[in-house]
Structures are given as structure tokens and as C-alpha cells.
Chain A
Amino acid sequence: MRLIYFAWVKAMTGTAEEEVEIPGEVQNVTGLLDWLEARDPKYARAFSDRGAIRVAVNQEFARPGDPVTNSDEVAFFPPVTGG
């Protein structure tokens, strides 16, 4: 699975991009966030306010219950501020 981080989520995790292999029990967006939080306290801090985190799976906005697999590209970022 390819993980990408943007804006302050990238600053807090200290990671722009990484490849990970998720275990079988991680099946959806919420499970992935929980798994990443447990891996590293930096991620736990970055994701502590779940309401402030937006997730895209394969470049489409995703909801907490949406499925994820090891072949997906998943991005984490704050609410957008363009324009």
C-alpha cells in the first residue's frame, strides 16, 4: 500500500510518502488509521483529531468505513484550503 501525507499531516508524521504492507485485520479507513497510530506516536498525534483528517483512497475522498487493500494508494490530509 502506498501512503501519502500532505500539509500539516506530513509535518506531524515526518513522512511525505511510504510503502507499507497492512495486516489482514486492517480492512477499512478507520482500521488503517488505528493501525498507523499504534505503529508510531508521531502518527498518533497527527491523527488524534480524526475530525480534522481527510482521507482519499485511490484519489477519491473516502469515509471511515470504506475498504482498503494493499494495492491501494491512500492519502491523509487536512481539509483543503485552495482557491
Chain B
Amino acid sequence: MGVQTLAEDILKVSGLSVNYESSQGTVHALESVSIAIESRSLIAVVGESGSGKSTLGLAVIGLLPSPPAKDITGKVEYKGVNLLELDKESIRSYRGTEIAMIFQEPITSLNPVYKVGTQIEEAIRIRDARKTDTSKSENPRKNEAHERRDEVISSLKRVRIPDPENVADRYPFELSGGMRQRVMIAMALSQKPSLLIADEPTTALDVTTQAEVLKLMRNLMNEVDTSILLITHDLAVASQVADRVAVMYGGQIVEEAEVNELFSQPLHPYTNGLLSCIPTGSKKETRLKPILGNVLDLRETYAYCKFAPRCPFVKDKCWASKPDLKPSKGEHLVACFLYE
């Protein structure tokens, strides 16, 4: 649907749609979403809550809660294989060692009754068991256990955790938020995935820690040869680490571009609105500029552009049909009738 296919795409999502069954009707969480990620790159998907960004992440790794999710259509091609066509067991074989995911609140995302070292070790064991498919049993011999322990320590070192031997024997509740998130990253990366999906990994952290974790993720990408799909509501976060940025609204991608290009020349009115929301702190600014209008009701299906009710540049055409995501110049994609 207008996305350039590059030879080295790790992930290629085409026309992905997801509906949720809710007590108040069917919610159209994702509508025909297409996005691609090259190897060794970091793409940030930015959107407000309800934009569908988390759904996108969960759909790729196959963790959408299956009721209430239904009607999953489209293609999710990972290294050429359409994951949506696979059965449960096959998808599970991709999780962890091919596609990994880390989540927003590290305190609830780590098992409270096991030490963090044990949890990382479990990830490593799964990876090892998959490599040597003949020995699926998890009977550790003595030196294997020792090796794994060493690897746990080094994975903690890699995420710059101080005193990793000590930390490995701690329970999650004994660590700070930033440390826990590093542990989650260490755990995910220890399985050596080619794609890491990070769903709001820094939202629960304070600004300083946020910056550190983001920088860490960026650096590790090259060290470990992993691509990252970063999901966030915060443009500032995206600007710090992304190669490309995709903006989502109402379950659709409305703009996608290389990061500097997006920030210097935003095309879609929504992106524009988002960027002007950020207070610059300059003397000329007298008031904050919100995006006018109400949040979209995703239970409705729209035959027109979803942003039309709030768009300062709306035309008649916008109420008549929906714009497709198309390249406007080079690799800068936008879904807006202003540019057609």
C-alpha cells in the first residue's frame, strides 16, 4: 500500500486491521496499517492513547488477547514469513528468540516471586533449547548452569547495571524503576532477537533515567544486531533515538518519515498540531496550543478522513473519502488530501 520494499526489511506489515469486542460494541483498533522496519534501524511509532500503537506491537508478536481481539486481517511478514498464518505453537517459537517485547511498567512485568537472575536465566534456557532442537529437555548439567550464570551476569553488564552479581540475586521489588527496565532489556536481548518491540519502555521512569535507557537501547542496537520498534506517546522520546518516525491517529498511520525530516517538515496537520503542542519556552509564546476537538470514537466506522473534525485545513474532499498513506517526497509518506 505505497510502502517501499527494501531488500533488508526485518518486518513488513501490510494492511493490518484489528477489531476488539467490547461491551459497548466493536472497536476498530487498527485499520489497514502498513509499516516496514529495516534491519539495524529504530522506528518509533508515536500516537496518543487509543491510537492503536500498542495494539500494533502486540499484533506483531502475536500477544493480542484473543477474546476480545478478533477479525485480525492483513499480513505481518517477519523475515518473509507471514506470522498471521501460523498456528499458536509456531508463533511461540518466534517469541523471544526472533521477536522480543518489553513493556511499560517493569514492576508488574517481572515475576515478583523469582529473582531477576533466575528470570533472565529462563530466557537464556529457552534460547538454548531452541538452538539445539534435539535436546528440548531442560536438564542443566553442572557446567551448563555455570555458563548460563555467567551469561546472566554479562547480560546485566551489557545494560550497564552496576554490581551485576548482586543485582542478579535480587527480587524485582528490591530494584528501582530504571534498574528494572534495564533488567527487562537485558532479559529480552539475552535471547538475541532480531526485532525488539518496546512498548512505552520509559513512560514509568523519570526524565533523567528515561534519557539513559533510551541511549542504552540505541547503543545496544548495533552491539547486538537488533532492530527496534519503539512505541511511545512522547515525540521528544522519538526525536532522541529514532531513525524513522510513524505517527498514528485513530488506528491508522497518518505520516511516516525519517526523523529529522518529520520534525523539520511535518506534513500531516495532526503531526503539525502535535509539534506545536510542545511548549518551546520562548518569550513569544503566550498560550499553549492544543489540538481542538474531541477524541475519536473508534466504535464507529468512518467513510471519511478521521482527522477531519479536528483539522484546521479541512476541505470538502476530506469528508467524502479517506486518504491513503502515500509518499509525498521520496521516503516521506503522508495520508492527507492536502498532498494529493
User: Is the pairing of A and B real?
Assistant: no
Residues of B whose CB lies within 8 Å of any CB of A are none
